[in-house]
Structure 1
């Protein structure tokens, strides 16, 4: 299987929408309307800074197979930026075929090329497959942080509305 990874562009909006819809179904979320997902993907991809694209897409034999959604952060510690891996997702038919590994390899290479010192990520504690995958990559588990979220009413209160 030929694998290719690249930063997504506006021309990849349909491929990204396909993955977003598949990912929603995989995680048992409400189904996404593909045309709405494609319009949203087009908007996101046209708004992204060319210096730091936020979606890397993997293609297996020309078909979209996986995505990595990332953000670059500028922490104050040791003046090194970090890449936060928000989502790594591989379609069912492409799992266990090296797609996740080439996505992470692509991201790690981008970090090294751009002086980004680390990749931080989270995964659910029940997601044994993801935990095994990251263990095989040598990811260290850090228990020093608690994952928190402001959304809904709490987000409105924080905004003073």
Structure 2
């Protein structure tokens, strides 16, 4: 089965919204309203810089099958940019068909072509399927960092 991967454009807003809604259900979050997700997708895809696309979409036989949500971070101590993979999601019916591998391959190729030295990502410690997938790809587990988050009241309290 051929998997086609490309950077999402404004014309892909409906496909992106569909995946965002399915992703919320998969991760046991409250269901997203499709119209709200579509509005967000249109906004994000309409405002993104073409130099730093943020969503890669995978298609199998013309049907959207997966997404990668990414951000490019500028140099840290090694003076090398990195691609941060925020989310990798494959629809249930497309799992184990090479969609995730195609998305990672697309991102890796983008990194090589643009002088980006690595892909960093996180996954939940309970997500055994994702951990096995990344292990098969040769991803190294790094225990040097602790994942933290400022949200809700903590975000409001972090004023200048």
Please give the TM-score of this superposition, normalised by the length of structure 2. Answer: 0.98
- Which residue of structure 1 aligns with residue 49 of structure 2? 49
- Which residue of structure 2 aligns with residue 33 of structure 1? 33
* 1:54 shift after superposition: 0.1
Aligned residues: 160
- Counterpart Cα distance in 2 of 1:143 and 1:153: 28
* 1:102 shift after superposition: 0.3
- Which residue of structure 2 aligns with residue 59 of structure 1? 59
- Counterpart Cα distance in 2 of 1:74 and 1:36: 31
- Which residue of structure 1 aligns with residue 4 of structure 2? 4
Per-residue deviation, residues 45-80 of structure 1 (Å, max 9, x unmatched): 011110010000000110000000000001232211
- Which residue of structure 1 aligns with residue 22 of structure 2? 22
- Which residue of structure 1 aligns with residue 79 of structure 2? 79
Question: Superposition RMSD on alpha carbons, in Å?
Answer: 0.7
- Which residue of structure 2 aligns with residue 138 of structure 1? 138
- Counterpart Cα distance in 2 of 1:91 and 1:76: 34
3-state SS of 1:46 partner: helix
- Counterpart Cα distance in 1 of 2:76 and 2:69: 23
